[in-house]
């Protein structure tokens, strides 16, 4: 037996493991299951000696079932990715699976390599948006390669465009065809996210450029409505453009501008000595992003890097983390923006598991993030740290924890978020120990003295800061196009009526009508309106003013104030967020009553409940002519409009009523 190996593990028999002599029945069992082990076939005979543990594991039913599933998955991948008998990322198009070579470019077929990981992330996000069979095929390749640039992946430019623009060609219909022979019929096109923002006319969804739609609606309204101002209670756009981007996402606010404006008010810097026994309350979300993860390191080693970082900087740390997976929240919208639609694959891991992915992809999966936080908190607790976790967003818990500790000890809050600064100013107590807010960045870090800043601003302004932060845009509310936080803070300081309106949002028992009425009046002031003027009236007046003063350019729809209806939803979202920041009983409120709607498993903002324009106006912004558009039966020509891409037949291209582009040759061109 000396010198022989176990045929299953190929390790020496005499390595300390328990040995077993195989009988005839046992040999038969091993040989039967050998076919299931595609990459580990063995053949044994009665009397042969093996490791007992190897034999047990090799014939274990659960292990065989697991291997069978892996083989099935591999077969599926091979079936999806091969164009002939196999798939090679360096020889076949990532999208169609057909043969592709860089040398094909000389024949007019554009082939490109995948150069950046950002490209891979975009394709991954599109796969999750499409949710069709072609997307499943491409996603299987992404998950198999993990790093396309490293795999030297290539693709046909035409396939990339077709995939990204919503075309849908099953793999089976590609086989045996040249890439230039593919025909993408309308019935094979998938519905993408952008199509959800189209407007509906005659039960048909049409896609029109937002600015073109606005111009056509306004032009037509002048001839159809005795009082054109009535039309301006509608957005005249697919989305409320002052509050939402054309993609449908809320306009993103630059939250730090409010902190900058407060800092510039006067001396807010902490310059005293904190003394001893200083407690540090650390924003766990910021901390997780701060430390880089080394590829190949185990999760235990990654956790230790956080513990070492804290030990080296903070003598008495309290770390506060966000919570994930507790259900839909009002921050679902901002999570979608930050992840750019990318959802990382769920990974099961333990202390000894090596990290082989990319940090941003791993953390893009909420379950991964929650499990990692659980692991990190356990290790921090064992180290003697105090770790806390909120049910969802941790900003309020960070501020309340800091205020509680500041009642007894000098306390420093370490974080980056302007939300935390505003909450510290709002909740801090006058007779507390020193309370400081600072970034964990070494360079250009502002060190805020919270008590000094409160005295500088005054109690009334500090009390109303949550209103300014929410109404001008935070994580859960839209930025107002053209209205910055600097303007909001200025109005708060100078306008007593504005402060009175703002105070309604801090009342725990305010009704929806109170919030809407006060919020709309506050927005009128922010947009420079007159006393008693409604948002819709102001919107029309602003439009006329811009028409008269902007002689060289058109009026952009987003530059107008939001309609009263869109503003109502915005104000309700702002009120709900303010109550989350300031009211311990916010759990009594339902987001669905305050500008949010549950769609699937996520909370989404209600943009407006009105259609983009009056029905009779929507019906004339496009024609359905089938013969030239050369008579006044063409609704576009009748209303003085050029035909456009919204027209059902001519598409603004092949008719007598489309705009003709004049091409002028450059007079300076000459042969040299």
| Closest to 577 (Cα-Cα) out of 329, 388, 390 | 329
- The CA distances from residue 184 to 355, 645, 650, in Å, are 41, 20, 20
**Residue corresponding to tokens 């590609």:** 174
Q: What secondary structure does DSSP assign to 319-387, as a single string?
A: EEE---SSS--TTHHHHHHHHTT--PPP----TTPBP-S-HHHHHTSHHHHHHHHHHHHHHHHHHT-EE
* Span 478-502, pLDDT tens digits: 999 999 999 999 999 999 999 999 9
Parts of the chain belonging to CATH 3.40.50.1010: 270-445
The model's pLDDT over 365-403, given as tens digits with 9 standing for 90+, comes to: 888 999 999 999 999 999 999 999 998 899 999 999 999
In a 3-state reduction of DSSP, which class is residue 485? helix
pLDDT digits (tens, 9 = 90+) for 31-77: 777 767 655 667 778 888 888 888 888 888 777 777 665 555 444 44
Three-point CA angle 214, 228, 202, nearest 5°: 55
Nearby residues of 587 by Cβ (< 8 Å), 6 or more positions away: none
Q: Which pLDDT band holds residue 654 (cuts at 50, 70, 90)?
A: low
Q: Does domain 270-445 sit in CATH 3.40.50.1010? A: yes
Residue 267 to residues 113, 373, 410, 414, 432, Cα–Cα distance (Å): 54, 37, 20, 20, 20
Pick the range with the lowest mean pLDDT from 107-111, 467-471, 600-604.
107-111
pLDDT digits (tens, 9 = 90+) for 246-255: 888 899 999 9
What per-residue confidence (pLDDT) applies to 119?
A: 85
pLDDT, averaged across the chain: 82
β-strand pairing of 154-156 with 111-113: antiparallel
Average pLDDT over residues 174-192: 46
pLDDT at 270: 95
pLDDT at 33: 79
**Confidence at residue 383, expressed as pLDDT on a 0 to 100 scale:** 95
Q: Which range (123-137, 174-188, 514-528) has the least confidence?
A: 174-188
Proportion of the chain above pLDDT 90, given as a percent? 43
Joined together, the tokens standing for residue 357 give: 């992915």
pLDDT at 108: 58
pLDDT band at 340 (very low <50, low <70, confident <90, very high): low
Residue 415 has pLDDT above 80, yes or no: yes
pLDDT of residue 370: 94
In angstroms, rounded to a whole number, what is the distance separating the alpha carbons of residues 634 and 622?
Answer: 9
Nearby residues of 188 by Cβ (< 8 Å), 6 or more positions away: 167, 168, 169
Longest dimension (CA), the chain: 104
Quick check: 659 pLDDT over 90? no
User: What would the mean pLDDT of 547-570 be, rounded to a whole number?
Assistant: 86
Give alpha helix (H) positions in 82-209.
117-130, 133-145, 157-164
Lowest mean pLDDT among 106-110, 167-171, 366-370: 167-171
The SS3 call for residue 317 is: strand
In our burial notation (b when 16+ CB lie closer than 10 A, e otherwise), range 274-302 reads eeeebbbbbbbbbbbeeeebeeeebbeeb
* CA 235 vs CA 200, 213, 613: distances in Å: 14, 11, 7
Element at 652 (helix H, strand E) = none
H-assigned helices in 82-208: 117-130, 133-145, 157-164
**In this structure, what are the phi and psi dihedrals at residue 591, rounded to the nearest 5 degrees?**
-55, -30
Picking from 257, 283, 252, 265, the residue whose alpha carbon sits closest to that of residue 462 is 265
- Contacts of the segment 622-628: beta carbons below 8 A, 24+ positions apart: 622/201, 622/206, 622/646, 622/647, 622/648, 623/647, 623/648, 623/649, 623/650, 623/657, 624/648, 624/649, 625/649, 625/650, 625/655, 628/655, 628/656
Sign of the dihedral defined by the CA atoms of residues 284, 285, 287, 292, in that order: positive
Whether the predicted pLDDT of 212 surpasses 80: no
Q: Using a CB cutoff of 8 Å and minimum separation of 24, what contacts does 530-536 make?
A: 534/564, 535/561, 535/562, 535/563, 535/564, 535/567, 536/229, 536/232, 536/233, 536/563, 536/564
Residue linked to tokens 């409010």: 258
């Amino acid at each position: 037996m000396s010198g022989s190996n176990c045929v299953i593990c190929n390790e020496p028999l005499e390595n300390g493991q328990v040995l077993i002599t195989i009988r005839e029945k046992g040999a038969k069992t091993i040989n039967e299951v050998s076919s299931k082990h595609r990459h580990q076939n063995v053949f044994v005979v009665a009397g042969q000696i093996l490791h007992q543990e190897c034999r047990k594991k090799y014939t274990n039913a659960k292990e065989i079932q697991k291997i069978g599933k892996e083989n099935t998955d591999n077969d599926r991948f091979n079936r999806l990715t091969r164009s002939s008998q196999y798939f090679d990322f360096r020889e076949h198009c990532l999208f169609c699976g057909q043969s592709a070579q860089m040398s094909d470019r000389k024949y007019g077929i554009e082939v490109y390599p995948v150069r950046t990981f950002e490209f891979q992330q975009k394709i991954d996000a599109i796969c999750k948006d499409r949710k069709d069979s072609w997307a499943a095929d491409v996603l299987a390749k992404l998950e198999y390669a993990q790093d396309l640039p490293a795999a030297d992946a290539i693709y046909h430019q035409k396939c990339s465009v077709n995939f990204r623009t919503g075309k849908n060609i099953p793999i089976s219909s590609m086989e045996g065809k040249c890439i230039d022979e593919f025909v993408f019929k309308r019935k094979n096109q998938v519905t993408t996210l952008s199509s959800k923002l189209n407007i509906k006319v005659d039960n048909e969804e049409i896609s029109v450029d937002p600015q073109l739609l606005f111009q056509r609606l306004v032009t037509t309204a002048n001839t159809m409505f005795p009082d054109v101002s009535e039309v301006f209670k509608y957005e005249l756009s697919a989305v409320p453009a002052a509050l939402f981007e054309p993609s449908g996402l809320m306009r993103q606010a630059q939250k730090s501008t409010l902190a900058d404006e407060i800092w510039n008010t006067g001396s807010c810097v902490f310059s005293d000595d904190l003394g001893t026994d200083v407690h540090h309350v650390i924003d766990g979300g910021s901390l997780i992003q701060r430390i880089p993860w080394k590829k190949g390191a185990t999760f235990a080693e990654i956790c230790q890097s956080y513990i070492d970082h804290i030990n080296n900087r903070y003598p008495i740390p309290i770390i506060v983390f966000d919570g994930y997976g507790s259900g839909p929240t009002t921050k679902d919208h901002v999570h979608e923006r930050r992840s750019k639609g990318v959802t990382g694959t769920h990974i099961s891991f333990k202390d000894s598991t090596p990290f082989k992915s990319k940090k941003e992809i791993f953390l893009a999966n909420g379950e991964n993030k929650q499990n990692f936080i659980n692991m990190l908190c356990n290790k921090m607790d064992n180290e003697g740290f105090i770790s806390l976790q909120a049910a969802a967003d941790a900003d309020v818990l960070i501020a309340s924890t800091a205020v509680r500790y500041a009642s007894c000890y000098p306390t420093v809050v370490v974080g980056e978020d302007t939300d935390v600064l505003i909450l510290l100013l709002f909740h801090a107590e006058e007779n507390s120990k020193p309370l400081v807010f600072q970034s964990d960045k070494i360079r250009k870090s502002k060190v805020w003295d919270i008590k000094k800043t409160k005295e500088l601003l005054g109690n009334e302004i500090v009390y109303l800061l949550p209103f300014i932060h929410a109404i001008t845009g935070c994580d859960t509310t839209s930025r107002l196009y053209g209205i910055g936080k600097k303007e909001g803070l200025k109005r708060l300081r100078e306008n007593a009526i504005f402060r009175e309106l703002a105070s309604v949002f801090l009342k725990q028992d305010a009704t929806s009508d109170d919030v809407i009425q006060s919020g709309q009046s506050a927005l009128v002031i922010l947009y420079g309106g007159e006393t008693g003027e409604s948002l819709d009236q102001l919107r029309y007046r602003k439009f006329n003013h811009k028409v008269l003063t902007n002689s060289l350019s058109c009026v952009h729809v987003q530059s107008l104030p939001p309609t009263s209806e869109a503003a109502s939803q915005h104000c309700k979202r702002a009120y709900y967020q303010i109550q989350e920041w300031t009211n311990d009983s916010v759990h009594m409120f339902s987001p669905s009553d305050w500008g949010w709607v549950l769609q699937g498993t996520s909370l989404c903002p209600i943009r407006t409940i009105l259609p983009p324009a009056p029905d009779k106006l929507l019906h004339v912004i496009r024609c359905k002519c089938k013969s030239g558009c050369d008579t006044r039966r063409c609704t576009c020509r009748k209303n003085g409009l050029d035909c456009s891409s919204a027209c059902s037949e001519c598409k603004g291209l092949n008719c007598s009523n489309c705009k003709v582009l004049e091409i002028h040759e450059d007079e300076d061109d000459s042969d040299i």
